[in-house]
Chains A and B, each alone.
Chain A
Amino acid sequence: MSKQNSLRGPALVFANVSLKLGGSHVLDAVNFQVEAGALHCLVGPNGGGKTSLVRALLGQMPHTGSIRIDGEPSHPVGYVPQLADFDRNVPMTVYDVMALLGQRRPAFLGSSRAARAANAEALQRTGVAGMGHKAFGSLSGGQRQRVLLAQAITPLPRLLILDEPTAGIDKPGLQLVENLVQELHASGVTIVWINHDLEQVRRIAQSVTVLNQRVLFHGAAQKLPTSWSDADE
């Protein structure tokens, strides 16, 4: 599928981004760019600042330096948070979660017919069709992750941010998510994916940044070093 410029997602520019938590550096002068419409992966060790960088990108973490999203700033951003960040104890069905995230009408009043159709289609795309009336908290980790992916693509965003969306997903699920991400990438969506599967990163990503408080490597995914120490050299 050819990417038209008008449909392309935005480019991202991280310029000298630094972030401190509790007095210690989480990010230290991070500089890199993500091209418009790219499938870009963020990799690195735990505690390396990947999630903090993503939260800074979303405007949630105070930081120094600048993060610029070029083009269509008002367009919705799709975001799949880490599963651990979502409270399972809230009595909500999958449709309630989708309604909460995707409509103005209070979620406790239900969804409009149009919204229900869009939500059902998104759940179908992420392989959890038929689970709309199930309690969100009763789903397995992988199923909940797919629901969170479904909400992120409803409506279709131009920028999609994925924070370890495949954690807890079984093999068929992994393939489904990978196919969906590639499909979205092909339609021009800019995708930033925090990913620990280096083999998958090399296979599907265009570009990659290795982050451990600072940028250890930034470039084409095929040139990704085999270990963080290699990247540091």
Chain B
Amino acid sequence: MNALLTDAIFDPIRIPLDRWFNDFINWLTFNYRPTFQAMKVPVEALLDGVSAVLLWLPPVVFIALVALLAWRAAGWRIGALAAASFTLIGMVGLWGLTMVTLSMVAASVLVCLIIGLPLGILAARSDRFQGALRPVLDVMQTTPAFVYLVPVVMLFSIGTVAGVIATIIFALPPLIRLTDLGIRQVPDDVIEAAEAFGSSEREVLFKVRLPLALPTIMAGVNQTIMLALSMVVIAALIGAGGLGRPVVEGLNALRIGQAGIGGLAIVLLAIVLDRLTQAFGEGSAAKRG
């Protein structure tokens, strides 16, 4: 009651921002929905491709491949952890959903890389671009996911692809920020040396800046993957498939067990992906001692 009374003080200068926002989204939907729908096409194709492969692979082969990769990249402990995690996921009956989630994560991270790396490189080259980009990234990172789920649904409708697009928006910022940071941290003397030997700007970028920024960029990739995984449950609210679905359904129907194993599978997936990407990041850092 008190709060409402206080709010009344502002009535003379009140602006109907909520309505404007509403109108803006409606206008966008009415005029540009086909454009946004078209943007779904490449994402959908990517997602379908990845999930087709993952679902086609026999689980035994998949587990063997992941264990092998983890072993080579991070040692036998992580290899064993990966094998055990995926076996457990299969044992609790969530193999198919996990593969769907994994392909959603993979598709969104791939799109993030395609968008984020060039933007990060540009941001590192230009202070002005960085300055313009920063508030946008802040908004992307701090806006609660539930707030932009509605516009996403209006523009992209519901389903797994819409979920992936919401995930991309949420997971993109750290990759851009850390690519920018990594490139800016490359020591000037190394760049000067490369220039003194007649390198072109392209060569400085690809032979010096990016390789030296790689550990930091990998930290960004790791962050992006973790954020993408954290969107799995939220994306299920707008009809995305995968491990979020049993969690949301379990919550709605108060089936704690179902929600619990869904959560367990997400955590296991997160741990394995985190260890793997960290190992890749450290691998590229360890090379320079």
Q: Do A and B bind each other?
A: no
Interface residues of A (CB under 8 A from B): none
